[in-house]
């Protein structure tokens, strides 16, 4: 019995794709929130976040956007702020056995919260 069968035999391909996308989204949030960011460093930080998540199992595509409008208010003597969940719009495509889970995190104004949710499921 291989590792895949041993540890994931009790869930479906759909559940596995969602699990991998959700774990990756949580890792991104808890690893990068609080990172110093400025308008000048935002693109390299986006790229670093994307590249690190693509290393995770089942993750096929990652898109990270930092809201530059929120960074325009950077007006400290150090010219940076701490990255917050309200600044991020993240999309993760997780795939397992042909099933695709589109996981998203973005700040929802009505909730005043950076919500993580399943945006779409595409069956093979």
Tell me: pLDDT of 84 over 70. yes
Band the pLDDT of 71: cuts 50, 70, 90. Answer: confident
For the stretch 7-52, pLDDT in tens is 888 999 999 999 999 999 999 999 999 999 998 999 999 999 999 9
Tell me: pLDDT of 72 over 90. no
CATH of the domain at 15: 3.30.1300.20
Residues 6+ apart with CB under 8 A from 93: 21, 59, 60, 61, 62, 100, 101, 102, 103
Tell me the whole-structure pTM to 2 decimals. Answer: 0.91
Domain carrying residue 18: 3-122
How far is Cα of residue 62 from the mean position of the Cα atoms in its chain?
Answer: 7
The count of structural domains within the chain is 1
- Picking from 108, 109, 103, 107, the residue whose alpha carbon sits closest to that of residue 121 is 103
Query: Cα–chain-centroid distance for residue 91?
Result: 6
């Amino acid at each position: 019995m291989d590792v895949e069968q041993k540890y994931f035999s009790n869930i479906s391909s759909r559940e596995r794709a969602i699990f991998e996308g959700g774990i990756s989204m949580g890792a991104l949030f808890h690893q990068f929130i609080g990172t110093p960011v400025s308008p000048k460093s935002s693109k390299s930080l986006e790229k670093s976040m994307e590249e690190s998540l693509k290393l995770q199992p089942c993750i096929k595509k990652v898109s990270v956007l930092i809201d530059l409008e929120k960074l325009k208010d950077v007006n400290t003597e150090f010219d940076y702020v701490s990255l917050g969940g309200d600044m991020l719009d993240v999309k993760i495509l997780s795939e397992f056995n042909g099933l695709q889970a589109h996981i998203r995190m973005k700040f929802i104004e009505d909730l005043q919260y950076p919500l993580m949710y399943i945006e779409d499921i595409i069956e093979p």
